[in-house]
Amino acid sequence: MILKQIPEDFIVEEIPKISKSKLGSYFYYKLKKTNYNTEKIIQLLCKKHNLPRKYFSYAGNKDKIAITTQYISVKQEIPELKTEGFEIKKIGRGKNPISLGDLNGNRFIITVRDITKKPFEKSEFINYFGEQRFGKHNVEIGIAILKKDFKKASSLIDYFFVQEHLKQKPNDYVGAIQKVPFKILKIYIHAVQSYFWNKVAKQIVVDEIPLIAFDTDFENSEIEKAYDKILLEEKLLLRDFVIRQFHNLTPHGTIRKRITKVKDLKIGNLENDELNKKNKKIKVEFVLNKGSYATVFIKFLFSQI
């Protein structure tokens, strides 16, 4: 099975949750992109319009090797733009910025390649966080920040302004990390929480599992023991999730359902795979709730997890 062999194989459309207002101070845009991750485009727009990163926000980072449609808010009107790889169109304005999680779900049209048979329909799956949540070094960076090993964290962060800061102030690791947009810093910490959650979800069958934080209230002793074991292995304590060096970066405990539903599932017919001529391809369409991963569902659908 091959996923995302070409961007056209993975089409995602955000189902927005936006309240428009004629007098709002935030401007809303539809962003359609191909072979770009969301943050890269935001950085390009910041540079092009000479605006600070904090002026831009969105509900979630979308896959790079894909054709995706999502919505962003900007605290200043910017021109519509169409260029190679992406386009943005103004859809209105409102009183509030679009924040992380401000969507009703995502609609997917995915072409699965290099297969030999059609899968059986499945209506639910274990709500694991997908690999894109973890990136190349996200978990490692997040754990380094939690351990207050800011030297290691800054050495792993692939962000231009971090290394530029360290050239000027070689030992100011906290200052260097503070150059990273806050939304990205949160991704590093969330990656750790998600990585640990996946480990617990593989071991324990319950309806809901908390994402660990300093204030996590463990109502299930089995879950608490599982997290204690993980923390011991990683040489972490619950209090390490308090990060005083970075304002508002300390995460709070939340609950995530272990099982999630699939809606509007349509599985097409097997077709000849022009990119993998010995095997077949198939188109799968469905809707997932926000925070659930299509790659995880597809792997489950084809019994690879």
Catalytic residue numbers?
63
CB 265 within 8 A of CB 206: no
Burial class (CB in 10 A: 0-12, 13-18, 19+), 50: exposed
Q: What is the DSSP string of 100-156?
A: TT-EEEEEEEEEEEEESSPPPP-SEEE-PPPGGGTTTTHHHHHHHHHTT-HHHHHHH
Paired tokens of 288: 């997932």
Radius of gyration (C-alpha) of the chain in whole angstroms: 21
Alpha-helical (H) ranges within 24-65 are 38-49
Roughly how many angstroms between the first and final C-alpha of the chain, as a whole number?
Answer: 13
Beta strands in the chain, from DSSP E residues, in sequence order: 10-16, 26-34, 56-58, 67-74, 81-83, 86-94, 103-115, 124-126, 208-211, 254-257, 259-267, 271-272, 280-288
Query: Rounded to 5, what percent of the chain is helix, strand, coil?
Result: 30, 30, 40
Q: What is the DSSP letter of 250?
A: S
